[in-house]
Amino acid sequence: MPRFFPSRKGNKNNDNKTPADTSNHANDSPHPNSNDSTAGNDANSGNNGGSKSARPNSENIPPRPKLVFHCQQAHGSPTGIISGFTNVKELYQKIADCYDIPVTEILFCTLNTHKIDMTRLLGGQIGLEDFIFAHVKGQPKEVEVTKSEDALGLTITDNGAGYAFIKRIKEGSIMDKVPLIAVGDHIEKINGESLIGCRHFEVAKKLKEIEKGSTFVLRTVEPLKSGFSNIGPSTGKKGSGNLGSGKQTLRLRSSGPATVEIPDEIVTVATDKINNLLESFMGINDTELAQTIWEIGRKANNPSDFAIGIDESDLGMFGFTDDFVFDLWGAISDAKSGRLNQVSADFNEQF
Protein backbone atom coordinates (compact mmCIF):
# COMPACT_ATOMS: atom_id res chain seq x y z
CA MET A 1 0.00 0.00 0.00
CA PRO A 2 1.32 3.52 -0.61
CA ARG A 3 3.22 5.16 2.23
CA PHE A 4 1.75 8.62 2.79
CA PHE A 5 3.50 9.61 6.03
CA PRO A 6 5.88 12.58 5.48
CA SER A 7 9.38 12.37 6.96
CA ARG A 8 8.53 10.41 10.10
CA LYS A 9 11.17 11.46 12.56
CA GLY A 10 11.29 8.12 14.28
CA ASN A 11 11.84 6.13 11.05
CA LYS A 12 15.33 7.42 10.36
CA ASN A 13 16.78 4.73 12.61
CA ASN A 14 14.36 1.96 11.70
CA ASP A 15 17.16 -0.21 10.40
CA ASN A 16 18.24 -0.71 13.99
CA LYS A 17 14.78 -1.55 15.30
CA THR A 18 12.79 -4.71 15.49
CA PRO A 19 9.94 -4.39 12.97
CA ALA A 20 6.42 -5.20 13.98
CA ASP A 21 4.84 -8.18 12.26
CA THR A 22 1.96 -10.55 12.63
CA SER A 23 3.89 -13.12 14.67
CA ASN A 24 4.59 -13.45 18.34
CA HIS A 25 6.59 -10.40 19.24
CA ALA A 26 5.55 -7.06 20.54
CA ASN A 27 6.44 -3.71 21.92
CA ASP A 28 6.31 -2.68 25.51
CA SER A 29 3.92 -0.04 26.43
CA PRO A 30 5.49 3.12 27.77
CA HIS A 31 4.36 4.31 31.10
CA PRO A 32 2.23 7.42 30.61
CA ASN A 33 3.54 10.32 32.61
CA SER A 34 1.35 11.89 35.23
CA ASN A 35 1.86 15.58 35.83
CA ASP A 36 -0.14 16.10 38.96
CA SER A 37 0.47 19.20 40.99
CA THR A 38 -1.03 20.78 44.04
CA ALA A 39 -1.34 24.39 44.91
CA GLY A 40 -2.58 26.31 47.90
CA ASN A 41 -3.08 29.97 48.78
CA ASP A 42 -1.78 31.38 52.04
CA ALA A 43 -3.84 34.22 53.39
CA ASN A 44 -2.44 36.74 55.81
CA SER A 45 -5.01 38.52 57.90
CA GLY A 46 -4.73 42.25 58.45
CA ASN A 47 -3.59 43.84 61.70
CA ASN A 48 -7.17 44.66 62.67
CA GLY A 49 -8.09 41.00 62.45
CA GLY A 50 -11.30 41.83 60.66
CA SER A 51 -10.39 41.19 57.04
CA LYS A 52 -11.53 37.96 55.42
CA SER A 53 -8.69 37.10 53.08
CA ALA A 54 -8.79 34.15 50.73
CA ARG A 55 -8.35 30.96 52.67
CA PRO A 56 -7.40 27.50 51.42
CA ASN A 57 -10.62 25.91 50.30
CA SER A 58 -9.57 22.47 51.54
CA GLU A 59 -11.52 23.14 54.72
CA ASN A 60 -14.73 23.13 52.72
CA ILE A 61 -13.93 19.99 50.74
CA PRO A 62 -15.24 16.79 52.33
CA PRO A 63 -12.66 13.99 52.69
CA ARG A 64 -12.50 11.64 49.72
CA PRO A 65 -14.19 8.33 50.46
CA LYS A 66 -11.87 5.38 50.90
CA LEU A 67 -12.29 2.93 48.05
CA VAL A 68 -12.69 -0.62 49.32
CA PHE A 69 -12.70 -3.79 47.23
CA HIS A 70 -13.48 -7.39 48.15
CA CYS A 71 -11.21 -10.20 47.06
CA GLN A 72 -10.70 -13.94 47.32
CA GLN A 73 -8.03 -16.35 46.20
CA ALA A 74 -9.42 -18.05 43.12
CA HIS A 75 -8.87 -21.58 44.43
CA GLY A 76 -10.85 -20.79 47.58
CA SER A 77 -10.32 -18.57 50.61
CA PRO A 78 -12.14 -16.25 53.01
CA THR A 79 -13.14 -12.88 51.60
CA GLY A 80 -10.58 -10.15 52.15
CA ILE A 81 -10.86 -6.35 52.15
CA ILE A 82 -8.42 -4.44 49.93
CA SER A 83 -7.89 -0.67 49.78
CA GLY A 84 -5.22 1.99 49.51
CA PHE A 85 -3.51 0.99 46.24
CA THR A 86 -2.76 3.11 43.17
CA ASN A 87 -1.32 0.59 40.72
CA VAL A 88 -1.28 -3.12 39.99
CA LYS A 89 1.91 -3.84 41.94
CA GLU A 90 0.48 -2.19 45.04
CA LEU A 91 -2.77 -4.11 44.57
CA TYR A 92 -0.91 -7.42 44.46
CA GLN A 93 1.03 -6.46 47.56
CA LYS A 94 -2.20 -5.59 49.40
CA ILE A 95 -3.67 -8.97 48.47
CA ALA A 96 -0.50 -10.76 49.56
CA ASP A 97 -0.54 -8.92 52.89
CA CYS A 98 -4.22 -9.75 53.38
CA TYR A 99 -3.57 -13.49 53.04
CA ASP A 100 -0.05 -13.50 54.47
CA ILE A 101 1.50 -14.98 51.32
CA PRO A 102 4.53 -13.83 49.30
CA VAL A 103 3.49 -11.38 46.59
CA THR A 104 5.52 -13.48 44.15
CA GLU A 105 2.88 -16.21 44.47
CA ILE A 106 0.23 -14.12 42.67
CA LEU A 107 0.12 -14.73 38.91
CA PHE A 108 -2.81 -12.53 37.86
CA CYS A 109 -6.27 -11.40 38.91
CA THR A 110 -9.69 -11.73 37.32
CA LEU A 111 -12.81 -9.69 37.99
CA ASN A 112 -16.07 -11.24 39.19
CA THR A 113 -15.08 -14.83 38.41
CA HIS A 114 -12.75 -17.36 40.01
CA LYS A 115 -12.33 -19.10 36.65
CA ILE A 116 -9.31 -18.63 34.40
CA ASP A 117 -11.30 -16.38 32.09
CA MET A 118 -9.07 -14.09 30.07
CA THR A 119 -12.05 -11.92 29.10
CA ARG A 120 -12.29 -10.96 32.78
CA LEU A 121 -8.60 -10.26 33.28
CA LEU A 122 -7.80 -7.31 35.52
CA GLY A 123 -6.04 -4.60 33.58
CA GLY A 124 -5.93 -0.84 33.94
CA GLN A 125 -9.44 -0.37 35.29
CA ILE A 126 -11.53 -1.85 38.08
CA GLY A 127 -15.24 -1.17 38.45
CA LEU A 128 -16.05 0.15 41.90
CA GLU A 129 -18.41 -2.79 42.42
CA ASP A 130 -16.05 -5.42 41.03
CA PHE A 131 -14.95 -8.44 43.06
CA ILE A 132 -11.28 -9.37 42.67
CA PHE A 133 -10.04 -12.96 42.43
CA ALA A 134 -6.31 -13.61 42.80
CA HIS A 135 -4.88 -16.62 40.95
CA VAL A 136 -1.75 -17.93 42.67
CA LYS A 137 1.01 -20.28 41.54
CA GLY A 138 0.17 -23.94 41.17
CA GLN A 139 1.85 -26.85 39.40
CA PRO A 140 5.02 -26.15 37.35
CA LYS A 141 5.22 -27.92 33.99
CA GLU A 142 8.06 -28.50 31.55
CA VAL A 143 7.63 -29.60 27.93
CA GLU A 144 9.72 -29.90 24.79
CA VAL A 145 8.35 -28.02 21.79
CA THR A 146 9.50 -28.34 18.19
CA LYS A 147 8.99 -25.10 16.29
CA SER A 148 7.84 -26.55 12.98
CA GLU A 149 6.25 -23.29 11.83
CA ASP A 150 7.16 -19.61 12.02
CA ALA A 151 4.45 -18.80 14.56
CA LEU A 152 3.70 -20.76 17.73
CA GLY A 153 0.12 -19.52 17.98
CA LEU A 154 0.33 -17.76 21.35
CA THR A 155 -1.05 -14.44 22.50
CA ILE A 156 0.94 -13.25 25.50
CA THR A 157 0.11 -10.64 28.11
CA ASP A 158 1.51 -9.89 31.56
CA ASN A 159 0.24 -8.98 34.99
CA GLY A 160 2.09 -5.68 35.23
CA ALA A 161 4.17 -7.05 38.11
CA GLY A 162 6.76 -9.26 36.44
CA TYR A 163 4.89 -12.32 35.16
CA ALA A 164 4.07 -12.94 31.50
CA PHE A 165 1.45 -15.57 30.78
CA ILE A 166 -0.58 -17.12 27.97
CA LYS A 167 -3.75 -15.22 27.16
CA ARG A 168 -4.85 -17.17 24.12
CA ILE A 169 -3.79 -20.22 22.11
CA LYS A 170 -4.71 -20.25 18.44
CA GLU A 171 -6.72 -23.29 17.44
CA GLY A 172 -4.74 -25.73 15.32
CA SER A 173 -1.41 -24.01 16.07
CA ILE A 174 1.79 -25.63 17.31
CA MET A 175 1.06 -24.79 20.94
CA ASP A 176 -2.53 -25.99 20.62
CA LYS A 177 -1.13 -29.47 19.97
CA VAL A 178 1.29 -29.42 22.90
CA PRO A 179 -0.09 -31.34 25.89
CA LEU A 180 -0.27 -29.71 29.32
CA ILE A 181 0.20 -26.10 28.11
CA ALA A 182 -2.92 -24.03 28.73
CA VAL A 183 -4.33 -20.51 28.82
CA GLY A 184 -3.36 -18.80 32.07
CA ASP A 185 0.03 -20.53 32.35
CA HIS A 186 2.87 -18.27 33.42
CA ILE A 187 5.85 -18.62 31.05
CA GLU A 188 8.65 -19.01 33.58
CA LYS A 189 11.62 -20.25 31.53
CA ILE A 190 12.75 -20.90 27.96
CA ASN A 191 15.66 -23.34 27.67
CA GLY A 192 16.45 -22.75 31.33
CA GLU A 193 16.55 -18.95 31.01
CA SER A 194 14.35 -17.29 33.63
CA LEU A 195 11.74 -14.88 32.28
CA ILE A 196 10.54 -13.62 35.65
CA GLY A 197 10.47 -9.83 35.52
CA CYS A 198 10.14 -9.72 31.73
CA ARG A 199 7.33 -7.87 30.03
CA HIS A 200 5.09 -9.70 27.58
CA PHE A 201 6.78 -8.21 24.51
CA GLU A 202 10.18 -9.45 25.70
CA VAL A 203 8.88 -13.00 26.14
CA ALA A 204 7.15 -12.90 22.75
CA LYS A 205 10.36 -11.67 21.12
CA LYS A 206 12.38 -14.54 22.60
CA LEU A 207 9.84 -17.07 21.29
CA LYS A 208 9.88 -15.38 17.89
CA GLU A 209 13.68 -15.58 17.70
CA ILE A 210 13.75 -19.36 18.19
CA GLU A 211 14.82 -20.85 14.87
CA LYS A 212 12.25 -22.72 12.84
CA GLY A 213 12.83 -26.46 13.04
CA SER A 214 14.59 -26.34 16.40
CA THR A 215 13.36 -27.87 19.66
CA PHE A 216 13.25 -25.89 22.88
CA VAL A 217 12.23 -26.53 26.48
CA LEU A 218 9.35 -24.45 27.81
CA ARG A 219 8.67 -24.28 31.55
CA THR A 220 5.34 -22.87 32.69
CA VAL A 221 3.48 -22.57 35.97
CA GLU A 222 -0.27 -23.06 35.98
CA PRO A 223 -2.62 -21.25 38.37
CA LEU A 224 -3.59 -23.21 41.45
CA LYS A 225 -6.88 -25.04 40.99
CA SER A 226 -9.31 -26.59 43.45
CA GLY A 227 -12.59 -28.40 43.49
CA PHE A 228 -14.48 -25.39 44.84
CA SER A 229 -17.09 -24.38 42.32
CA ASN A 230 -19.41 -22.21 44.33
CA ILE A 231 -17.14 -19.45 45.48
CA GLY A 232 -17.78 -16.09 43.96
CA PRO A 233 -18.87 -12.56 44.63
CA SER A 234 -21.82 -12.01 46.91
CA THR A 235 -25.20 -11.72 45.25
CA GLY A 236 -25.22 -8.01 46.00
CA LYS A 237 -22.23 -7.47 43.73
CA LYS A 238 -22.76 -6.75 40.07
CA GLY A 239 -20.79 -8.42 37.31
CA SER A 240 -18.08 -6.82 35.26
CA GLY A 241 -20.66 -5.83 32.67
CA ASN A 242 -20.83 -2.49 34.45
CA LEU A 243 -17.43 -1.61 33.02
CA GLY A 244 -17.81 0.75 30.11
CA SER A 245 -21.53 1.21 30.76
CA GLY A 246 -21.26 4.55 32.49
CA LYS A 247 -20.47 3.20 35.95
CA GLN A 248 -17.50 4.58 37.83
CA THR A 249 -14.22 2.72 37.59
CA LEU A 250 -10.85 3.04 39.27
CA ARG A 251 -8.20 3.63 36.62
CA LEU A 252 -4.76 2.36 37.60
CA ARG A 253 -1.66 4.05 36.22
CA SER A 254 1.98 3.01 36.07
CA SER A 255 2.93 6.38 37.50
CA GLY A 256 0.85 8.90 39.36
CA PRO A 257 -2.24 8.33 41.46
CA ALA A 258 -5.19 6.17 40.50
CA THR A 259 -8.30 8.12 39.58
CA VAL A 260 -12.02 7.38 39.63
CA GLU A 261 -13.52 7.93 36.19
CA ILE A 262 -16.70 7.33 34.24
CA PRO A 263 -15.41 5.57 31.12
CA ASP A 264 -16.46 7.00 27.78
CA GLU A 265 -18.00 4.37 25.51
CA ILE A 266 -16.09 5.69 22.50
CA VAL A 267 -12.79 5.43 24.37
CA THR A 268 -13.64 1.91 25.52
CA VAL A 269 -14.44 0.73 22.00
CA ALA A 270 -11.45 2.51 20.44
CA THR A 271 -8.91 1.08 22.88
CA ASP A 272 -10.44 -2.36 22.46
CA LYS A 273 -10.06 -2.08 18.68
CA ILE A 274 -6.45 -0.90 19.06
CA ASN A 275 -5.78 -3.82 21.39
CA ASN A 276 -7.18 -6.20 18.78
CA LEU A 277 -4.78 -4.74 16.23
CA LEU A 278 -1.86 -5.16 18.64
CA GLU A 279 -2.85 -8.79 19.12
CA SER A 280 -3.34 -9.48 15.40
CA PHE A 281 -0.09 -7.85 14.32
CA MET A 282 2.19 -8.61 17.24
CA GLY A 283 0.73 -11.39 19.34
CA ILE A 284 0.43 -9.32 22.51
CA ASN A 285 -2.33 -7.73 24.55
CA ASP A 286 -1.55 -4.43 26.27
CA THR A 287 -4.31 -2.14 27.52
CA GLU A 288 -1.93 0.56 28.69
CA LEU A 289 -0.24 0.74 25.30
CA ALA A 290 -3.64 0.89 23.59
CA GLN A 291 -4.70 3.75 25.87
CA THR A 292 -1.50 5.67 25.10
CA ILE A 293 -1.99 5.24 21.34
CA TRP A 294 -5.59 6.45 21.65
CA GLU A 295 -4.53 9.58 23.55
CA ILE A 296 -2.06 10.49 20.80
CA GLY A 297 -4.62 9.82 18.07
CA ARG A 298 -7.35 11.74 19.86
CA LYS A 299 -5.28 14.93 19.65
CA ALA A 300 -4.25 14.42 16.01
CA ASN A 301 -6.21 16.02 13.18
CA ASN A 302 -4.92 13.81 10.37
CA PRO A 303 -2.83 10.67 9.83
CA SER A 304 0.36 12.64 9.30
CA ASP A 305 -0.03 14.37 12.66
CA PHE A 306 -0.73 11.01 14.25
CA ALA A 307 2.38 9.41 12.74
CA ILE A 308 4.55 12.32 13.87
CA GLY A 309 2.95 12.20 17.31
CA ILE A 310 3.83 8.51 17.59
CA ASP A 311 7.45 9.15 16.61
CA GLU A 312 7.88 12.11 18.95
CA SER A 313 6.45 10.22 21.92
CA ASP A 314 7.98 7.35 23.86
CA LEU A 315 6.39 5.03 21.30
CA GLY A 316 8.88 6.22 18.66
CA MET A 317 11.46 3.81 20.04
CA PHE A 318 9.31 0.88 18.94
CA GLY A 319 9.68 1.61 15.24
CA PHE A 320 6.09 0.89 14.19
CA THR A 321 5.83 0.38 10.45
CA ASP A 322 3.87 2.88 8.38
CA ASP A 323 1.33 0.20 7.47
CA PHE A 324 0.68 -0.57 11.13
CA VAL A 325 0.39 3.13 12.03
CA PHE A 326 -2.08 3.51 9.15
CA ASP A 327 -4.24 0.70 10.55
CA LEU A 328 -4.12 2.25 14.02
CA TRP A 329 -5.21 5.61 12.63
CA GLY A 330 -8.09 3.91 10.82
CA ALA A 331 -9.42 2.54 14.11
CA ILE A 332 -8.98 5.89 15.86
CA SER A 333 -10.59 7.81 12.99
CA ASP A 334 -13.57 5.45 12.98
CA ALA A 335 -14.03 5.94 16.71
CA LYS A 336 -13.77 9.73 16.53
CA SER A 337 -16.31 9.89 13.71
CA GLY A 338 -18.76 7.58 15.48
CA ARG A 339 -18.36 4.62 13.13
CA LEU A 340 -17.41 2.44 16.11
CA ASN A 341 -20.51 3.35 18.08
CA GLN A 342 -21.57 -0.17 18.95
CA VAL A 343 -19.76 -1.84 21.80
CA SER A 344 -18.51 -5.29 20.97
CA ALA A 345 -20.04 -8.07 23.00
CA ASP A 346 -16.57 -9.02 24.21
CA PHE A 347 -15.26 -5.51 24.90
CA ASN A 348 -14.03 -6.69 28.30
CA GLU A 349 -11.22 -8.46 26.42
CA GLN A 350 -8.99 -5.58 27.44
CA PHE A 351 -9.28 -6.40 31.13
What are the pLDDT digits (tens) for 56-97?
A: 455 565 555 568 899 999 999 999 999 988 888 899 999 999
Same-domain status, 155 and 281: no
Residues 217 and 294 in one domain: no
Please tell me the predicted confidence (pLDDT) of residue 251.
60
Let me know if residue 37 belongs to a domain.
no
Please give the Cα distance from 107 to 92 (Å, whole number). 9
Residues 198 and 340 in one domain: no
Residue 333 lies in a domain: yes
**pTM above the 0.75 mark?**
no
Does any domain span residue 45?
Answer: no
3-state SS class at 11: helix
Radius of gyration of the chain (CA): 23
Instruction: Clarify whether residues 215 and 115 are in a common domain.
Output: yes
Is 272 found in the same domain as 219?
Answer: no
* Spatial CB neighbours of 340, under 8 Å, sequence gap ≥ 6: 266, 269, 270, 273, 331, 334
Q: How many domains does the chain have?
A: 2
Chosen domain end from 205, 223, 241: 223
Domain co-membership, 102 together with 163: yes
Angle at CA of residue 184, ends 174 and 342, nearest 5°: 95
- The domain boundary residue, chosen from 160, 193, 223: 223
pLDDT score recorded for residue 218: 96
Q: Which residues on neighbouring strands pair with residue 121, listed in sequence order?
A: 110
What is the per-residue pLDDT for 9?
Answer: 52
The contacts of residue 258 (CB under 8 Å, 6+ apart) are 85, 86, 87, 250, 251, 252
**What is the per-residue pLDDT for 263?**
54
pLDDT in the model for residue 129: 85
Answer yes or no: is 243 within a domain: no
36 located within any domain: no
Q: Verify that 284 and 336 share a domain, yes or no.
A: yes
Q: Which domain-ending residue is among 198, 223, 248? A: 223
The partner residues of 109 in beta bridges, in order of sequence, read 134
Amino acid type, 187: I
- Is residue 89 domain-shared with residue 179, that is, in the same domain? yes
DSSP class of residue 222? E
In a domain, 240, yes or no: no
Q: What is the CATH number of the domain that holds 162?
A: 2.30.42.10
Same domain, 179 and 281: no
Same domain, 214 and 79: yes
Domain span at 339: 264-345
Q: How far is 16 from 319, CA to CA, in rounded Å?
A: 9
Q: What is the pLDDT along the chain (351 residues), one digit of tens a residue?
A: 444 555 555 444 444 443 333 334 434 444 434 334 333 444 344 444 444 444 445 556 555 556 889 999 999 999 999 998 888 889 999 999 999 999 999 999 999 999 999 888 887 778 888 899 999 999 999 999 999 998 899 989 888 888 999 999 999 999 999 988 999 999 999 999 999 999 888 898 899 899 999 999 999 999 998 754 444 444 333 333 333 333 566 666 555 566 555 556 677 777 778 877 777 766 666 777 777 888 888 888 888 888 888 888 877 766 778 888 888 888 888 877 766 544 333 333 332
pLDDT reported for residue 296: 87
Q: Which residues on adjacent β-strands are paired with residue 144?
A: 217
Q: Domain check: are 150 and 271 in the same one?
A: no
Domain membership of residue 341 (yes or no) is: yes
Domain assignment present for 309: yes
Using CA atoms, how far apart are residues 345 and 258, in angstroms rounded to an integer? 27
Q: 312 with 208, same domain?
A: no
